[in-house]
Amino acid sequence: MDSIKRVFLIVLDSLGAGELPDASDYGDKGSNTLRSISQSPQIFIPNLRKLGIGNIDGLGFLGTNENQQAAVCKLGELSKGKDSTIGHWEISGIISDSPLPTFPNGFPQEIIDKFSELTGRGVLCNKPYSGTQVIADYGEQHERTGDLIVYTSADSVFQIAAHENIVPIEKLYEYCEIARQILVGKYGVGRVIARPFVGSAGNYTRTSRRHDFSIEPPQKTILDSLKAAGRDVISVGKIKDLFAERGLTEMLATKNNADGMEKTAEAADRDFNGLCFVNLVDFDMVYGHRNNVDGYAAALSEFDKWLGEFLPKLRDDDILMITADHGCDPGDISTDHTREYIPLMIYGKLVSPINLGIRQTFSDIAATLAEIFGVNYTCAGESMLGELTDMKQHLCNQAKRALQKSYSPYSGYRVGAALLTGSGKIYTGCNIENSAFSPTICAERTAFAKAVSEGEKSFRMIAVAGGKGGIVTDIFPPCGVCRQVMREFCTQNFIILLAKDCGYEEYTLSQLLPNSFSI
């Protein structure tokens, strides 16, 4: 589909959509970031609700929407781990078999020895530590000896703190490069971070010349393929760090969420041809890790407000995807990330607002991007583009699939129906015959019975496919009883798609049932 020119892929860092089936392996049973923040009085997200966030499987507490504007689903994570790097890599097509390593007891002696040998300096601390506390506790000794302060955290990081007067900033960056070269394989931490500081004992402060040296993605990502195909790949925020600046054509640095949103809006105002990949990190860094439920909810409400201004900026051939990279439930005891599904909303003029249910892997995003931009990129994900852009054909395909379940030993006619509701869900049905003949239920009525008994009240269209022995050659129009059932639950504009071997015929209910009876 080459009519889509720009895709905005916005990652709301840590906005998980509920526990994954293996959450207990990560100590995260029951976690649900969106549910926790939905309980805050600070939550006000009319635009996300308009898109259909509450129609995502399991997120009904956010408020369902009979007329969702976006395609929605939630995606599972095939990778091991629950951090930003692993999450963004999977979004971009890489499945990681092991999480990035963490060092709760400090780095092994062989690593420290090697680092000392190559830098010619001793090492202080070497354990998990708070960044401000570590310079308060070790700064003086560092100034005296010239030894480097090495520390880590719950994340996969190797951090080097040094006073700018003792270790000039360029030298510190050089030491980080050295560490980056040592920290490979099972010691391959996500990031080596330079943490320069200034001031005097009792008064040390960190400077803004922090610099991250990320591990490179171990395989080709969709970003690499898009760049190679001559597309623009714009990074907004920390995307560049997560991919070690690979596969990007432009990098826009951001200070915080507000700045990230502003830079994204600016990108939307200019012409580019490709992907604008945005990460808004405050959700995770400022609120999730600090278990600040109200702050998190207020930040999402801020995003929602911005979204209200951003949506009208989108052009007819743009697509917006809003998603996350993992959870960080601010309502649980731990301040750590949580192993959760990620929500996905896909919006655009060319997109059918369909509910794509629960999908296997974040990599479905990479596969979809590959198909959108027509690049050859293979990954574990499945493209959603077919369903997203041709809803009517998709519905006919679903009807054809449903007829395989037909129970029709008497007539031999196998019939399938696929009914699309206002909330984007599809209910399928088949004909179910009976030896007494009259209790036979048609495929359409099976689908309606399933939907109505699940509480559905609004219906957009139905596709019907049928034929002798299940071979669909020509249209299989609904019988009079089924038309009357449609009349019961639908308006006269309800669409009926009659599948053919190839393609379909389209009717409204008023065409198939004129002058109808209803009370």
Burial of 150 (0-12, 13-18, 19+ CB in 10 A): buried
Pick 163 or 414: Cβ nearer ligand THU: 414
**Minimum distance from CB of 440 to ligand THU (Å)?**
5
Pick 209 or 483: Cβ nearer ligand THU: 483
Pick 318 or 444: Cβ nearer ligand THU: 444
Residues whose CB is less than 8 angstroms from the CB of residue 389 and which lie 6 or more positions away in sequence, other chains included: 1, 350, 351, 352
**Minimum distance from CB of 443 to ligand THU (Å)?**
4
If one asks whether residue 479 binds ligand THU (CB under 6 A), the answer comes out as yes
Q: Among the residues of 27-83, which ranges form H helices?
A: 33-38, 46-51
**Minimum distance from CB of 412 to ligand THU (Å)?**
8
If one asks whether residue 487 binds ligand THU (CB under 6 A), the answer comes out as no
Q: Among the residues of 159-282, which ranges form H helices?
A: 169-182, 222-228, 239-242, 257-268, 282
Scanning residues 380 to 409, which ones bind ligand THU (CB under 6 A)? 408
Residue 295, amino acid: G
Scanning residues 154 to 213, which ones bind ligand THU (CB under 6 A)? none
**Minimum distance from CB of 354 to ligand THU (Å)?**
24
DSSP state of 218: S
Scanning residues 273 to 332, which ones bind ligand THU (CB under 6 A)? none
3-state SS class at 73: strand
Q: Among the residues of 185-256, which ranges form H helices?
A: 222-228, 239-242
Pick 327 or 416: Cβ nearer ligand THU: 416
**Minimum distance from CB of 448 to ligand THU (Å)?**
11
Out of 45, 478, 499, 512, point to the residue binding ligand THU (CB under 6 A).
Answer: 478
Pick 385 or 417: Cβ nearer ligand THU: 417
Pick 272 or 407: Cβ nearer ligand THU: 407
Burial of 120 (0-12, 13-18, 19+ CB in 10 A): exposed
Considering only 171-179, 238-246, 335-343, 478-486, which stretch makes contact with ligand THU by CB under 6 A? 478-486
Binding-residue pattern over the window 443 to 462 for ligand THU, x denoting contact by CB under 6 A: xx------------------
Secondary structure (H, E, C), 309-359: HHHHHCCCCEEEEEECCCECCCCCCCCCCECECEEEEEECCCCCCCEEEEE
If one asks whether residue 415 binds ligand THU (CB under 6 A), the answer comes out as yes
If one asks whether residue 498 binds ligand THU (CB under 6 A), the answer comes out as no
Out of 411, 434, 458, 491, point to the residue binding ligand THU (CB under 6 A).
Answer: 411
Considering only 296-304, 322-330, 410-418, 505-513, which stretch makes contact with ligand THU by CB under 6 A? 410-418
**Minimum distance from CB of 514 to ligand THU (Å)?**
18
Pick 371 or 433: Cβ nearer ligand THU: 433
Cβ atoms of 477 and 512 within 8 Å: the answer is yes
159: nearest Cα among 198, 108, 107 = 107
With contacts defined by CB under 6 A, how many residues of the chain interact with ligand THU? 13
Pick 118 or 479: Cβ nearer ligand THU: 479
**Minimum distance from CB of 387 to ligand THU (Å)?**
24
Out of 183, 354, 482, 499, point to the residue binding ligand THU (CB under 6 A).
Answer: 482
**How are strands ordered across the β-sheet holding 232-236?**
250-252, 232-236, 274-280, 6-12, 318-323, 342-347, 71-75, 355-359
Cβ atoms of 353 and 65 within 8 Å: the answer is no
**Minimum distance from CB of 444 to ligand THU (Å)?**
5
CA 509, CA 494: separation in Å to the nearest integer?
5
Residue 112's CB: how many other CB atoms inside 10 A?
A: 16
CA 210, CA 452: separation in Å to the nearest integer?
58
Pick 221 or 408: Cβ nearer ligand THU: 408
Burial of 380 (0-12, 13-18, 19+ CB in 10 A): middle
CA 59, CA 357: separation in Å to the nearest integer?
12
CA atoms within 13 A on the CB side of 166: 21
Gyration radius from the chain CA atoms: 27
**Minimum distance from CB of 357 to ligand THU (Å)?**
25
Query: Residue 148: phi, psi to the nearest 5?
Result: -90, 140
Pick 293 or 482: Cβ nearer ligand THU: 482
Find the farthest-apart pair of alpha carbons in the chain and give their distance in angstroms, rounded. 96
**Minimum distance from CB of 505 to ligand THU (Å)?**
15
Pick 358 or 479: Cβ nearer ligand THU: 479
CA 75, CA 58: separation in Å to the nearest integer?
12
**Minimum distance from CB of 454 to ligand THU (Å)?**
20
**Minimum distance from CB of 340 to ligand THU (Å)?**
41
**Minimum distance from CB of 431 to ligand THU (Å)?**
3
Considering only 106-114, 216-224, 320-328, 477-485, which stretch makes contact with ligand THU by CB under 6 A? 477-485
Pick 145 or 411: Cβ nearer ligand THU: 411
Scanning residues 425 to 444, which ones bind ligand THU (CB under 6 A)? 431, 433, 440, 442-444
**Minimum distance from CB of 22 to ligand THU (Å)?**
41
Cβ atoms of 365 and 381 within 8 Å: the answer is yes
The CA angle 46-47-49, to the nearest 5 degrees, is 65
Pick 385 or 482: Cβ nearer ligand THU: 482
CA 331, CA 179: separation in Å to the nearest integer?
36
- Contact residues for ligand THU, defined by CB under 6 A: 408, 411, 413, 415, 431, 433, 440, 442-444, 478-479, 482
